[in-house]
């Protein structure tokens, strides 16, 4: 072996050596790494050790391995799409949720009835087992092919007396307009988290290895004291980032929450 020696496990040394080689530009983004056989030769280690090292780099998101072809350097994955989470309202009262123009539904939205659970109940200010409409959408950005899972949960209490009871599959921006027309002054609170995807999320969002999931939960508040709508958006952290616009809030913090 040439450049490896000190720290701990052999495979970590090999991983570090490869990491350095990538950082030094020896293997630029997109370039193929030497094959396992060549790495075995170069570092004079066994195949399990090489595979262990490659696996480590893969879990760091540094490599992409394609069966039958080889390992490739995955350039610093910077998000491709910026999803603007601010909400605009034009003179006519119509709302624009950024992206409405860019995203396209690939399938019919899945509309169903469900109930609040231990998570969604508190978020909506409801007890558990309260009736909800649910709408699941799979959206795809037409230019970048970025996929987004979008779920809308509408309490019966919110839908009652509006068009929503008949057409829960209405698009969010129209729902906002509906609620505003019903006399609500709307504002939203949103939380953002990230986690590793579940197996089914990996497939439906077509996530690569070591790609976290970005998940944002938006609660629509109206003039009444309890929340009106719950929306959850899930997408690949590799492909998308979220954008917010913040203006100073004259009301001293009401929202110091802790779970």
Partner DNA sequence: TGACGTCACTCGTACTAACGAGTGATGACT
Partner DNA sequence: AGTCATCACTCGTTAGTACGAGTGACGTCA
Work out what residue 27 binds among its own copies, DNA, none; the CB cut-off runs from 5 to 8 Å by kind. Answer: none
SS3 29: coil
47 binds DNA (CB under 7 A): yes
140 binds its own copies (CB under 8 A): no
What pairing do the DSSP bridges indicate for beta strands 95-97 and 81-84?
Answer: unpaired
Calpha distance 27→215 (Å, rounded): 33
232 binds DNA (CB under 7 A): no
Q: What is the dihedral of CA 163, 164, 165, 169, to 10 degrees?
A: 120
User: Residue 125 has what DSSP assignment?
Assistant: T
43 binds its own copies (CB under 8 A): no
- Pick the binder of DNA from 37, 119, 165, 192 (CB under 7 A): 37
Q: Based on CB atoms, which residue is closest to DNA, 38 or 82? A: 38
Count the neighbouring beta carbons within 10 Å of the beta carbon of residue 99. 18
243 binds its own copies (CB under 8 A): yes
Q: For residue 65, which of 238, 56, 205 has the smallest C-alpha distance?
A: 56
Written as one string, the DSSP assignment of 130-171 is -EEEEEEEEEEETTT--EEEEEEEEEHHHHTTSGGGT-TT--
- Write the CA distances from 192 to 49, 156, 203, integer angstroms: 38, 26, 22
127 binds DNA (CB under 7 A): no
8 binds DNA (CB under 7 A): yes
Calpha distance 109→111 (Å, rounded): 6
Work out what residue 86 binds among its own copies, DNA, none; the CB cut-off runs from 5 to 8 Å by kind. Answer: its own copies
Contact region with DNA (CB under 7 A), list: 28-36, 117-125, 139-147, 215-223: 28-36
Contact region with DNA (CB under 7 A), list: 32-40, 80-88, 122-130, 251-259: 32-40
Work out what residue 133 binds among its own copies, DNA, none; the CB cut-off runs from 5 to 8 Å by kind. Answer: none
Q: Based on CB atoms, which residue is closest to its own copies, 6 or 166? A: 6
* Beta carbon of residue 163, minimum distance to DNA (angstroms, whole number): 48
Calpha distance 158→229 (Å, rounded): 8
- Pick the binder of its own copies from 11, 27, 43, 95 (CB under 8 A): 95
- Pick the binder of DNA from 19, 21, 31, 51 (CB under 7 A): 51
Site residues (vs DNA, CB under 7 A):
8-13, 33, 35-38, 45-49, 51-52, 54, 65-71
């Amino acid at each position: 072996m040439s450049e490896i020696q000190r720290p701990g496990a052999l495979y970590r040394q090999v991983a570090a050596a490869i990491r350095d080689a990538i950082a030094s530009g020896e293997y630029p983004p997109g370039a193929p790494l030497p094959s396992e056989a060549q790495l075995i030769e170069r570092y004079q280690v066994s195949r399990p050790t090489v595979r262990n090292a490659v696996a480590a780099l893969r879990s760091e998101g540094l490599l992409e391995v394609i069966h039958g072809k080889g390992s490739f350097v995955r350039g610093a994955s910077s998000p491709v799409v910026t999803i603007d989470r601010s909400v605009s309202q034009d003179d006519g009262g119509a709302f624009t949720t950024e992206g409405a123009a860019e995203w396209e539904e690939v399938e019919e939205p899945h509309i169903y009835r469900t109930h609040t659970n231990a998570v969604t109940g508190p978020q909506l200010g409801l007890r558990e087992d309260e009736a909800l409409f649910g709408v699941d959408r799979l959206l795809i950005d037409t230019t970048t092919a970025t996929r987004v899972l979008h779920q809308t949960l509408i309490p019966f209490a919110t839908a009652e007396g509006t068009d929503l009871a008949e057409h829960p599959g209405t698009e969010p921006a129209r729902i906002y307009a509906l609620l505003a027309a019903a006399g609500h002054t709307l504002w939203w609170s949103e939380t953002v988290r990230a986690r590793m995807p579940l197996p089914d999320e990996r497939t439906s969002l077509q996530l690569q290895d070591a790609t976290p999931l970005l998940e944002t939960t938006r609660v629509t508040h109206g003039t009444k004291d309890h929340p009106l709508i719950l929306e959850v958006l899930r997408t690949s952290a590799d492909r998308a980032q979220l954008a917010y616009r913040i203006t100073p809030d004259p009301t001293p913090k009401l929202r110091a929450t802790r779970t």
